[in-house]
């Protein structure tokens, strides 16, 4: 049986190796070098077929059928070992391709957790003070481009305020990050409006409350954090994240996504809506009516706030580096990791996380038209990620139903396997149970 498993594993490895070479021929961007193959592409659904997971498979199958979701991807770690990674349903309705663990999904606002970790990395390195002011003569963004503002309270905004959504902007006044066409018209600039033009427009309006006094979820705040990362590191935002967060962890296949279908990555899923046809004017100003998830939003503009794409296995690998568990080293100090999820320290908005409870569970949600993502750190050594490629009529409220299904389902697993799917590489192309259950990350 073991010989058969090894043989199958080798076939899978060579199959995905061919895929990776094909992607490279198309200009597929490796985050480390042209020779690297993301471990997620070496995973196959069958690797997570073992006794005890039948209920997970059954519940997820029922869930996507109930909500008319085209495809989903799950990844689970136990004691920082990848013990389950599987795709469900269809990755691309045009080709009939099934979802595999290596497929990329938009993770929407889960991107904010990545940005927050990058900010805290700069903080720990001594390159950034959380209480530094952002605007004004002594602010981080003190160049003339951002020195014209209507409300003097702008000068009170700090990095900390941006992290915990207390900078003074209210989403009920409209979200500038999702209005690049409108702002382009107001600023009399070509569409879509650039980050610089959107920030100039935002600074021309009054704040809704004094910085630091109230919480109001802000995509704009995290877009500004992306600019701060660039100023403080001297690197483009994505490059800093890749070189300082992903590369040390062996993460090869997380990227800022693209807006249109023809721009998608070769192994990225196709996005859908089960809630009826969703169209809007193309964000490029052409006047074309497009599906909202293909041209309605500027994914590169959303970058630090909501633009990343990832596979479930690599995203959960990132989570294992900030979960505070002791089995593997983290990329931030234990104190920083704890403080990011503590509302008594970080504030109601936390630092990147969407919520935490007194039992030690932390979570981060993400939703865009056409996709959703939910990332959870439990207090019992289990982390999990669920991503879908379909909007439902519940919109962002689908997370409530996903979490209910996952907490109930994972709780039925009596014993997780001893292998670690993170260890899959060209030497170990499969879940061979005699390989050590360890995953050095640094």
**pLDDT over threshold 80, residue 11:** no
What's the confidence (pLDDT) of residue 426?
A: 60
Superfamily of domain 2-108+245-274+304-423: DD-peptidase/beta-lactamase superfamily (3.40.710.10)
Closest by CA position to 339, among listed 123, 179, 181, 178: 123
Burial readout 39-65 (b: 16 or more C-beta within 10 A, e: otherwise): bbbbbbbebbebeebeebbeebeebbe
31 pLDDT band, cuts 50/70/90, is: very low
* Tokens coding 271: 């996005």
Mean pLDDT of the chain: 89
- DSSP conformation letters of 262-274: GGS-TTBPPPEES
24 pLDDT band, cuts 50/70/90, is: very low
Contact between 16 and 102 (Cβ < 8 Å): yes
**pLDDT over threshold 60, residue 226:** yes
9 pLDDT band, cuts 50/70/90, is: very low
**pLDDT over threshold 60, residue 155:** yes
What's the confidence (pLDDT) of residue 53?
A: 87
**How far is Cα 85 from Cα 108, in angstroms, rounded to an integer?**
20
What's the confidence (pLDDT) of residue 172?
A: 79
Mean pLDDT confidence for 290-298: 96
Contact between 105 and 96 (Cβ < 8 Å): no
Contact between 342 and 356 (Cβ < 8 Å): yes
* Tokens coding 383: 């982390």
The reply to whether 2-108+245-274+304-423 and 114-238 are identical in fold is: yes
**How far is Cα 425 from Cα 431, in angstroms, rounded to an integer?**
10
What's the confidence (pLDDT) of residue 35?
A: 62
Higher pLDDT, 132 or 411: 132
| pLDDT more than 90, % of the chain | 82
Task: Give the β-pairing of 255-256 and 382-388.
Answer: unpaired
So where are the chain's domains?
2-108+245-274+304-423, 114-238
439 pLDDT band, cuts 50/70/90, is: very low
> What residue spans of 380-424 are helical by DSSP H?
398-410
- Range in 20-29, 65-74, 330-339 with the lowest mean pLDDT: 20-29
**How far is Cα 283 from Cα 194, in angstroms, rounded to an integer?**
11
- Range in 3-7, 199-203, 279-283, 349-353 with the lowest mean pLDDT: 3-7
Element (H, E) at 352: none
> What's the distance, Cα to Cα, between the start and end of the chain in Å?
34
**How far is Cα 285 from Cα 179, in angstroms, rounded to an integer?**
12
Mean pLDDT confidence for 406-433: 81
**pLDDT over threshold 50, residue 29:** no
Q: In terms of CATH architecture, what is 114-238?
A: 3-Layer(aba) Sandwich (3.40)
Q: Tell me how far the alpha carbon of residue 190 is from its chain's centroid.
A: 29
Q: What is the pLDDT of residues 40-50, one digit of tens each?
A: 999 999 999 98
**pLDDT over threshold 50, residue 8:** no
13 pLDDT band, cuts 50/70/90, is: very low
Task: Give the β-pairing of 81-92 and 308-310.
Answer: unpaired
Q: Please give the angle made by the CA atoms of 411, 417 and 422, to the nearest 5 degrees.
A: 105
**pLDDT over threshold 70, residue 21:** no
What's the confidence (pLDDT) of residue 428?
A: 55
What's the confidence (pLDDT) of residue 285?
A: 94
Contact between 23 and 34 (Cβ < 8 Å): no
What's the confidence (pLDDT) of residue 414?
A: 87
Q: What are phi and psi of 290, to 5 degrees?
A: -130, 160
Torsion of CA 239, 243, 244, 246, to 10 degrees: 100
Element (H, E) at 65: helix 54-66
């Amino acid at each position: 049986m073991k010989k058969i498993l090894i043989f199958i594993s080798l076939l899978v490895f060579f199959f995905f190796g061919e895929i990776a070479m094909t992607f490279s021929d198309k200009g597929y961007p490796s985050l480390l070098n042209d020779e690297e193959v993301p471990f997620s592409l070496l995973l196959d659904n069958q690797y997570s077929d073992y006794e005890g997971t039948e209920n997970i498979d059954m519940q997820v199958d029922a869930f996507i059928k109930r909500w008319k979701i085209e495809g989903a991807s799950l990844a689970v770690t136990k004691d920082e070992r990848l013990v389950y990674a599987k795709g469900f349903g269809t990755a691309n309705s045009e080709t009939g391709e099934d979802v595999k663990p290596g497929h990329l999904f938009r993770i929407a606002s889960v991107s904010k957790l990545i940005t927050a970790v990058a900010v805290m990395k700069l903080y720990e390195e001594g390159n950034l003070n959380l209480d530094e002011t952002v605007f004004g003569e002594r602010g981080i963004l003190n160049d003339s481009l951002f020195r014209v503002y209507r409300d003097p309270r702008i000068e009170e905004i700090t990095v900390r305020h941006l992290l915990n959504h207390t900078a003074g902007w209210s989403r009920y006044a409209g979200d500038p990050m999702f209005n690049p066409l409108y702002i382009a018209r107001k600023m009399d600039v070509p569409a879509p409006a650039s980050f610089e033009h959107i920030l100039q427009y935002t600074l021309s309006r009054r704040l809704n409350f004094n910085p630091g006094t109230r919480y109001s979820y802000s995509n704009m705040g995290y877009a500004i954090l992306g600019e701060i990362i660039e100023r403080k590191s001297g690197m483009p935002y994505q490059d800093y994240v890749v070189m300082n967060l992903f590369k040390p962890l062996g993460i090869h296949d997380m990227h800022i996504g693209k807006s249109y279908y023809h721009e998608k990555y070769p192994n990225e899923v196709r996005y859908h809506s089960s809630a009826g046809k969703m169209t809007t004017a193309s964000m490029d100003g052409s006047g074309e009516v497009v599906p909202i998830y293909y041209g309605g939003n500027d994914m590169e503009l959303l970058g630090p706030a909501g633009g990343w794409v990832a596979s479930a296995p690599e995203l959960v690998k990132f989570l294992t580096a900030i979960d505070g568990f002791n089995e593997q080293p983290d990329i931030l100090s234990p104190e920083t990791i704890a403080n990011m999820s503590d509302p008594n320290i970080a504030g109601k908005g936390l630092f990147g996380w969407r919520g935490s409870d007194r039992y030690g569970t932390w979570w981060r949600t993400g939703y865009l038209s056409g996709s959703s993502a939910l990332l959870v750190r439990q207090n019992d050594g289990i982390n999990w990620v669920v991503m879908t490629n379909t909007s439902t009529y519940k919109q962002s409220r689908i997370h409530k139903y996903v979490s209910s299904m996952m907490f109930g389902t994972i709780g039925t697993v009596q014993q997780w396997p001893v292998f670690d799917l993170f260890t899959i590489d060209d030497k170990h192309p499969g879940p061979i149970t005699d390989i050590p259950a360890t995953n050095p990350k640094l």
